[in-house]
Structure 1
């Protein structure tokens, strides 16, 4: 096996298991809530779209931190790497506190923006208002995970992810359905169980980072300049992520727009939620290679190794294509049976099959997209990623509108998403990777 492949596997395999575990929070929620009823599942879909958008906008706390910490590590400044990472954690706490207050207060408005119908609105509002309480722990998890990945440690996040998901499943089952004389809280119990699991997971990751920082005598108090610098460096990645979340939110809105009536909207939203959850599951699995790319690219460029970075990028693209083919074949093969795991609604099960087939066909392209995204994030090329995200979003909008108004089906909406949007992202990322403007060396 090539040395590059061994390095990729050393980082990517634990990251793969951890990233697969992360979507299990939503998969477990979908499986447990789905058996309460279709309106509850549709409500979870709306709430999850909002929550994933809010938290997803702050993914720079993990991705940006991984690249910057790895650069300083490659340059031989381990203490500086940890100091910069700690500032990122304080930034996560600040953003999380503000987001929690604003999110809880604006929950009814956020749900109403989707106009999902009275029954679905009630369930979505209940879930989202409670789930917002877990925002700060989620953001702290992102920041601390980014630090550990930058230090080339992907095993610790894996252990915490496994523990967190086991707790999530146990707490969800107990709080949703109850035990003994306790009748359960329904969909509210699902949200509460996830929040408790997130708090415990964040505490475990933070404890590890603090221990490592103390061993390197890195400061634990917030440094205003460092926090401000982390926020400034995250702006381009925030814009990049905003374009991705905008595409997902507009896709949800298009599903409602394409529906013929309230019953159709409920069925299509439930189908879309299941398909998107499974897509996210596979996307996070593909992102494991991108995580390795972030860590290795940042370290290599920090050490001034341009030739090695080029070789890594070529190899990563090959890994992305192969991984996408494997996940695509697996999803297509399992599509007739996956619906049974999440819902008892026969109409949702039937509609889910063609949607998953389309999602499967888009997996090889998605593999390349995630890999190149990771390479450029590791290189600190956030400004280009921001512009590339805007270009891809603009290209996607007419295709999405065509799928909603002309196709009039969630199936055609997924053709636009898995085909048009991902193809546009792939084109702009490949264009950048062929050039050399992103190959900037040094610790900064």
Structure 2
């Protein structure tokens, strides 16, 4: 199998898995958007909160992939799967804690972020139910992590599609036919997580490995997780700030931001499919002490990311006058969408390179660098412009200019790091 075909054999199934959740959220946004601006804004704030907390814990997926891939490359598959067992235990413990904390914090956080009492009420109503999906989301993340590490992309594809596919059919029925409105959206979301998580747990139980928790292995995972967590906090501070600023400007502004942001998240994960393949291949190569191949994969995936990102930018430029109408008929929301849309389109080539090289460096276990570069980009670029947009009334233009600065700083950082070669440390454990 040629290097390109091997990369695509991992990337294409990963693309479907990565796209499934944001695609479901796009369906959810379109369904709820026809209830009106307030339910759409409430869903926006709730989904951002849920997504950002999940993103804080990406080490359960990406960190597990990096470690499992190195062990797999060194010929130690059983130990690679064992990393998935410990990641799953962490998912259960952390997820249950988040359910408790989230139920207590739902009202004050919604009041802080929503911008109006109506939107806050809608946000809390969704969160009270949707929070129960958190442990299940984390279990699915851990399952994806170890399976990617051992280059098994077929089963995660089936598991995630089963959950999200059934839920996508259920959502419009519960929201519009049964008449449960935003509550129906939250229930459909939890159903998706129950189905997918159950399938990942069943797969792990079928492996010939011990299912007992190992505190020492979990501590080792948390060590890498610490750097990825701090990196995640930088993302969350930025994106929550952006949604908060949009919500305090107007209901139409936050509704438009939700539509473009969900498309952004969707395309980001589409582009990340090459990064997922790179994580597995880079980790395998470094585990097998093949530094030359790891470097080759890094630049290959960066080139493909640039091509793929550019193509997506062209496609969504052509859809600018049509696609937003699929999510809402509210004229005020539609009038705000173009203020973010053209930033979204223009940034896709940069996203292609940045996300691809993020995958390379995460696969190499270069978590400390990822932490530092992301913190720099957030605090020197994204956050100052977001809050300036609020203070000076720049609207969505200011918010998305901040996101642009964030990506440009990260682009310079990851390209420089990849060229340096300091990330390519060989061995089963970094």
Select 1:231's aligned residue among 195, 216, 222: 222
Alignment partner of 1:400 is 2:386: yes
- Please list the CA deviations of residues 181-217 of structure 1 after superposition, one character each: whole Å capped at 9, or x if unmatched: xx43110110011101111111112212322x22xxx
Q: Residue 28 of structure 2 aligns to a residue in which SS?
A: helix
Q: Does 1:281 align with 2:281?
A: no
The yes-or-no answer on 1:322 pairing with 2:307 is yes
Provide the rounded CA distance (Å) in 2 between the counterparts of 1:38 and 1:401: 24
Is the aligned partner of 1:208 residue 2:241?
no
8 Å Cα contact 2:305-2:349 kept in structure 1? yes
Give, in angstroms, the shift of residue 134 of structure 1: 0.3
Partner of 2:45: 46
Tell me whether 1:188 sits opposite 2:200 in the alignment: no
Is 1:415 the counterpart of 2:401 in the alignment?
A: yes
* C-alpha deviation, 1:405, in angstroms: 3.3
- Quick check: 1:310 aligned with 2:295? yes
Residue 19 of structure 1: how far off its partner (Å): 1.3
Cα distance, 1:315 vs structure 2:
0.8
CA contact (8 A) 1:171 1:194 kept: no
Q: Deviations over 1:51-82 (max 9, x none)?
A: 11111111110000011000000011111111
CA distance in 2, matches of 1:413, 1:82: 42
Aligned residues: CA RMSD: 1.4
* Inter-partner Cα distance in structure 2 for 1:283 and 1:140: 22
User: Which residue matches 1:262?
Assistant: none
1:104 corresponds in structure 2 to 103
SS of structure 2 residue aligned to 1:375: helix
Deviation larger for 108-117 or 187-196: 108-117
Residue 249 of structure 1 corresponds to: 240
Count of residues in Structure 1 that have an aligned counterpart in Structure 2: 428
The reply on whether 1:363 has 2:348 as its aligned counterpart is yes
After TM superposition, the structure 1 stretch with the greater mean CA deviation from structure 2, 202-211 or 67-76, is: 202-211
Name whichever of 164-173 and 349-358 sits farther off: 349-358
Whether the 8 Å CA contact 1:403–1:412 is kept in 2: the answer is yes
1:390-432 deviations in Å (ceiling 9; x for gaps):
1111112223233333452212321221x21111111111121
Q: TM-score, normalised by structure 1?
A: 0.94
Aligned equivalent of 1:6: 5
TM-score, structure 2 normalization? 0.97
What is the alpha-carbon distance in structure 2 between the residues aligned to residue 253 and residue 104 of structure 1? 20
Instruction: Please give the per-residue CA displacement for 1:96-142, whole angstroms capped at 9, x wherever unaligned.
Output: 01011111111001111214201111101100121111000000000
Shift of residue 256 of structure 1?
3.6
The answer as to whether partners of 1:176 and 1:187 remain within 8 angstroms in 2 is yes
Deviating runs (4+, > 4 A) in structure 1?
Answer: none
Which region of structure 1 is more displaced relative to structure 2, 362-371 or 20-29? 20-29
Q: Deviations over 1:213-246 (max 9, x none)?
A: 22xxx11111121122222221111111111121
Aligned to 2:93: 94
Partner in structure 2 of residue 165 of structure 1: 164
What residue is the counterpart of 2:358 in the other structure? Answer: 373
> Which runs of 5 or more residues in structure 2 are unaligned?
none
Q: How much has 1:348 moved relative to structure 2? A: 1.3
Q: Does 1:431 align with 2:416?
A: yes
